[in-house]
Amino acid sequence: MTRQLIRAVVSAIAIGVLVSVTVLVHHQTNDLILLAYWYVGATVMSVCLVAFVVGRRYTSKPIAPGRVLCIVPSYNEDPAGLHATVKALLAQTIPVDIVVIDDGSYIPVAATVDHPRVTWLRQENIGKRGAQVNVLRRFTRDDYQFILTVDSDSEPYPDACEHLLRAMSDPRIQAATGMIYIRNYKSNWVTLAADIDIGTSCVIMRASRSMLGALETTSGALALYRSELLYDHLDAYAVECGTGDDRWLALRALRRGEVVAVAEAGVETDMPSTFRGTYRQRLRWARSWWWMLPYVFRHLTIKKLLSPLYGLTQLIITPAMTGYIIFQTAISLGSRYSGNGRVLVAYIGAYLIVRYAGSALYLIGRPRLAMNDKLRCWIVGTPGAIILNAFLLIPIRYVALGKLFDNRWRTREIDSRLISSEQCAAGGVVLPRAGLRLIRGGLEKAGENQPQCHGLYEGHSTHGEAPIREMNYAASQPVYQERTL
């Protein structure tokens, strides 16, 4: 049985369950509000399941012509992880020119790869957007036709850029993003749950939005843009704000055309391995989602508004429905829904089946994973993802509303115990920006009990362009552990 046929069977089973429960709900419930809520949810979920099976594919498309510039901003990245990222980019089936820019890391990034297509730069800390803009200003819009953005902890598969370029052969498409796989999924239950959650989201929700060409955010791990999109917005893009860089660019791309996901363009990346780290990451994602809503409703067409409008409606209706059920139960002294036990059981069963079906659709196509590992992820990771959603990801959407003006992106921190006197002497250690903290057996204020050594300069926040210099491979002292790709 082919992979596509298996996916079709899994989707058909899930849709069949939804239809069966819908019939039961229709006959057992006379509450029109609850019926409407169920009908809308079941219909949307069925459409999403179908979209992944019959959605847009680009494997037969030609490769779009043009040069590709890949920008990899790095801030306090693990040297081994960054080295693996560069090696993965050099292994692309379509050659790309690579610029790694150190955005003022505490321990300066070492140029660990000597290759004519790799350039290593360093600047004072101004943020990810500022780093990308500084690189783009070294070229003109005519030098490169496409800009590939890759996070410094990500490893694109060898044909990832090729598949993105195939999508770009459609002139309507302004941006394309890849399929995300969590590299450190084995670390603990948090990363395993995150793998299933993100993978299922890509399979179910992202596929339907991509079918409409209306994906409102790309992924920082891997995304390809037409160069004129970035060059037309350089000054505005350089300003750090509440909206994440990937979402910011995707929304501008949607005003010009389409933004799609390419399932064949795989990339592995790392996720936070602690509950606290996951909370902070998803909080900024949720905050970015809220910030984009005014722009979306002002500038996007009805077709491209469907996904954010449905998401907003869900966030409003879910607590409203919960309150409605509690209120109706209270005023009827429990008699209102006393005969709906079968409906409740059917709803829970349908939810679990759809969740496991989504996980199966993701894992069926997950590469570099043995069948035993896939089965373990499916059995253990799916309930983990359900728990993560119920107790963190759903509530955090509401928490983010109260933190809209907290623009701290809380990026990587570094354990000060890793900063040795030898490192200070060899390459210098950049002191952290005011207000940031180093980790030393816990959080400490910047500068307290830290090594008092200065490297290239003392880091500080800046606005606009920062001084930038090219690093010499021969003069750098790489400190990393070799990683097998």
Please count the structural domains in the chain.
1
Average pLDDT of span 292-319: 93
More confident residue, 422 or 298: 298
Q: Which domain holds residue 431?
A: 59-477
pLDDT band at 438 (very low <50, low <70, confident <90, very high): very low
Residue 238 lies in a domain: yes
Question: What pLDDT score does 427 carry?
Answer: 40
Does 444 score more than 80 pLDDT? Answer: no
Question: What pLDDT score does 34 carry?
Answer: 86
Does 324 score more than 90 pLDDT? Answer: no
Largest Cα span, the chain: 79
**What percent of the chain lies above the pLDDT cut of 70?**
83
Which pair of tokens denotes residue 248?
């910011």
Residue 6 lies in a domain: no
Q: Render pLDDT for 83-120 as a digit per residue (tens, 0 to 9).
A: 999 999 999 999 999 999 999 999 999 999 999 999 99
Does 252 score more than 50 pLDDT? Answer: yes
CA distances from 166 to 59, 156, 261, 407, 452 (A): 7, 16, 12, 36, 51
Residue 90 lies in a domain: yes
Q: The CATH number of the domain where 289 resides is what?
A: 3.90.550.10
Question: What pLDDT score does 465 carry?
Answer: 54
Question: What pLDDT score does 408 carry?
Answer: 57
pLDDT band at 353 (very low <50, low <70, confident <90, very high): very high
Q: Write b or e for each residue in 373-400: b if 16 or more Cβ atoms lie within 10 A of its Cβ, otherwise e.
A: ebeebbeebbbbbbebbeebbeebbeeb
Between CA 108 and CA 303 the distance in angstroms is 46
pLDDT band at 470 (very low <50, low <70, confident <90, very high): low
Residue 42 lies in a domain: no
Residue 2 lies in a domain: no
CA distances from 355 to 41, 158, 263, 381, 382 (A): 14, 31, 20, 11, 7
Does 419 score more than 70 pLDDT? Answer: no
Does 463 score more than 70 pLDDT? Answer: no
Mean pLDDT of the chain: 85
Residue 102 lies in a domain: yes
Residue 254 lies in a domain: yes
Q: Render pLDDT for 138-185 as a digit per residue (tens, 0 to 9).
A: 999 999 999 999 999 999 999 999 999 999 999 999 999 999 999 999
Residue 24 lies in a domain: no
**What percent of the chain lies above the pLDDT cut of 90?**
69
pLDDT band at 481 (very low <50, low <70, confident <90, very high): very low
Between CA 479 and CA 153 the distance in angstroms is 16
Give this prediction's pTM.
Answer: 0.84
Q: Render pLDDT for 176-235 as a digit per residue (tens, 0 to 9).
A: 999 999 999 999 999 999 999 999 999 888 999 999 999 999 999 999 999 999 999 999
Phi, psi of 437 (to 5 degrees): -130, 150
Q: Containing H/E element for 439?
A: strand 437-439
